[in-house]
Structure 1
Amino acid sequence: MKIAVGIIGILLGLVSMLQSCAVATGGSLTSNHDLAGAGSVGVFVGLLFFVGGAFAFGLPLVSAIIFVVGSLFAFIAATSFTDMKIWAVADLILAAMAFFAWRRARADRVKISSGAPQ
């Protein structure tokens, strides 16, 4: 599951950053400062998607925390840029997946260290 979270997080990060760059540019061109600011926050959320996806391969708990932080920023920016609600929910889903991947890996380590048969 760690690999799936990593790949999905990286891909969604790239898509989110591309969309947010377009929104930030459009907001700047139309002098809509709220939309431009929300687009800038969206770029940051996309970066957090990307970083969370990268951490998912080795440190899934850190990844889950990064995804939750990204979700909080996305919900804040959702007042001006409504698509950020979708990215916030995707962040929360990936955070849950990363948490359960971490928990499973920890349980497997405990089984191995206690000498229990697999």
Structure 2
Amino acid sequence: MKIAVGIIGIFLGLLVLMQSCAVTAGSGLLQDKATGGAGAVGMLVGLLFFIAGAFSFALPLVGTIMFGLAAAFAFLASTQGSFSDLTIWGFIALILAMMSFFTWRSAKRKKLNAPV
């Protein structure tokens, strides 16, 4: 499951990053500063998704923390402007954080139960 979380995190990170860039550019054309700010935070969320996905391969606990941060930023930014897709990305980040946490916990249990 570690590999699946990593690949999904990296792919969705790039997707969120591209969508947030488009929202930021569109809000610049429409002179909408609130949506532009939400788009900028969306780019941070996309970067956190990408980093969390990369860390999920070797350090699932770090990936869990990064996905949690991405979810927090996404929920905070979704309240401003008209970039409500960040709410969906926040829920997806929470799901990936839980998956990464359970991956870390199962690896830790395997390590503790390993014969010496």
Please, what TM-score do these two structures have when normalized by structure 2? 0.96
Q: Give the alignment partner of residue 105 of structure 1, picking from 83, 107, 111.
A: 107
Q: Give the equivalent residue in structure 2 for 1:95.
A: 97
Question: Identity across aligned pairs (percent)?
Answer: 53
Equivalent in the alignment of 1:20: 20
| CA offsets 1:33-73 (integer angstroms, 9 cap, x no match) | 00011000000000000000000000001100000001000
Q: Which residue of 2 aligns with 1:82?
A: 84
Q: C-alpha distance in 1, partners of 2:57/2:99?
A: 12
Q: How many residues align?
A: 114
The one-letter code matched in structure 1 to 2:6 is: G
The equivalences for 1:29-48 within 5 A come to 29-48=29-48
The structure whose Rg is larger is 1
Letter in 1 for 2:100: A
Partners of 1:94 and 1:52 lie apart in 2 by: 9
Q: Specify the code of the residue in structure 1 equivalent to 2:71.
A: S
State the TM-score, normalizing by the size of structure 1.
0.95
Distance in 2 (alpha carbons) for counterparts of 1:76 and 1:105: 32
Return the offset for 1:77.
Answer: 0.8
Could you list the per-position Cα deviations for residues 64-102 of structure 1 after superposition, in whole angstroms to 9, with x for gaps in the alignment?
000000100000110121000000000000000000000
Structure 2 gaps of 5+ residues are none
3-state SS in 1 of match to 2:91: helix
| 1:56 lines up with 2:56 in the alignment | yes
**Superposition CA RMSD, Å:** 0.9
- Structure 1: 5+ residue stretches without partners: none
